[in-house]
Every structure is written in structure tokens, then in C-alpha cells.
């Protein structure tokens, strides 16, 4: 008979707050976030690394939380979609652009896409449209047809682009 697996204490920084919970070694980070820590903004789609719904930032890097065990991220800094809006619910620039462009319908894929672009735009604030399309290639969306998502991200990019030289003040 298999011995029940011992739970281990996992402590991490979730959206700026230190939190802890107990996890069996096989518990996925996705389930730890949702069921143990109550951060249900991260969605679960395929559970094998394909759809991108479960994307969170682990120490600043966009990662599939269905491909990590909770015990592996002990001591890490995790950012989820809950970190994006202000405490009073004011959307950040990326979320606001998604709203403006109708870049979501059912919203199931949206948290993961927002987190991938959060990481990407921090590293590369003024990408080309092709680069944005390339990032979106890591996500499945059954509703939007993708074009509005690309438009929303490019809108944010246009807002962070430096003024063209010679532009009047």
C-alpha cells in the first residue's frame, strides 16, 4: 500500500504579500494558487502546458503554472492577474486596452494572456506587431479571433513609444 505523501510547507510572495500553505509534493502550482491560497484569477485549461490559461510570473518570468509543482516555487515571487489592477479596481493600461478593444469575450484565456504580455512588455516596451503575434502564439483563445488582442497590446505599445523626433510639444 502506498504511504500517504507528507505535505510540505510552501512560503512564497504572492502579489507582494508573503503567504504560506501546505502542499503535497505532486500538487500543481495552479491548484495551490487557486485552492490553497484562494487566488482564483489564474485559470486552468489543458493542464499540460499548451493553452497558456494558467500563465503567471515566477520571479518575473511568464511561466505555465500547470507545469510547476507548488513545492518548486518555495521562496519565489509569484505575480498573478490579481496584481494588475489598483486596490480600488482601476484597471492598468493593458487591462484597460483589452476592455476598449473588446479583446476578451468569455475571458477564460485572458488572465494568462495578460500575464504573458506583462512580462513581455516589461522587457520589450516597444515591440513590433509581429513580435506581439509571436507571444500570442503561446496562447489559445476560442472567442476573439486574436486580432483584437493584438490591437489592444499595440495600443499600449503606442502609448509607451517615444515621441517621434521633431514632434511639436
Residues that bind ligand FES (CB under 6 A): 44-47, 49-54, 64, 66, 104-110, 141-144
Distance in Å, CB of 140 to ligand FES, minimum: 7
The contacts of residue 37 (CB under 8 Å, 6+ apart) are 14, 19, 21
H helix intervals, the chain: 29-31, 93-100, 110-123, 129-136, 147-160
Distance in Å, CB of 83 to ligand FES, minimum: 18
Distance in Å, CB of 126 to ligand FES, minimum: 25
Distances (CA, A) of 32 to 51, 69, 97, 123: 19, 9, 30, 28
DSSP result, 80-125: -GGGTS-TT----HHHHHHHHTT--SS-TTHHHHHHHHHHHHHH-S
**Cβ-based nearer residue to ligand FES, 106 or 161:** 106
Distances (CA, A) of 79 to 65, 142, 153: 11, 25, 19
* Secondary structure of residue 169 in the 3-state scheme: coil
Distance in Å, CB of 48 to ligand FES, minimum: 7
Distance in Å, CB of 166 to ligand FES, minimum: 40
Amino acid at each position: 500500500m502506498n504511504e500517504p505523501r507528507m505535505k510540505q510547507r510552501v512560503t512564497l510572495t504572492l502579489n507582494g504579500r508573503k503567504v504560506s500553505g501546505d502542499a503535497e509534493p505532486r500538487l500543481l502550482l495552479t491548484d495551490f494558487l487557486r485552492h490553497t491560497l484562494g487566488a482564483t484569477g489564474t485559470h486552468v485549461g489543458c493542464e499540460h502546458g499548451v493553452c497558456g490559461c494558467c500563465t503567471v510570473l515566477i520571479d518575473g518570468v511568464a511561466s505555465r503554472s500547470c507545469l510547476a509543482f507548488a513545492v518548486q516555487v518555495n521562496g519565489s515571487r509569484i505575480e498573478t492577474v490579481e496584481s494588475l489592477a489598483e486596490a480600488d479596481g482601476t484597471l492598468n493600461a493593458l487591462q484597460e486596452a483589452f476592455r476598449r478593444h473588446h479583446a476578451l469575450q468569455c475571458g477564460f484565456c485572458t488572465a494568462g494572456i495578460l500575464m504573458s504580455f506583462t512580462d513581455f512588455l516589461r522587457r520589450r516596451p516597444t515591440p513590433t506587431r509581429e513580435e506581439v503575434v509571436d507571444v500570442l502564439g503561446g496562447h489559445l483563445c476560442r472567442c476573439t479571433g486574436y486580432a483584437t488582442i493584438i490591437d489592444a497590446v499595440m495600443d499600449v505599445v503606442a502609448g509607451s513609444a517615444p515621441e517621434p523626433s521633431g514632434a511639436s510639444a
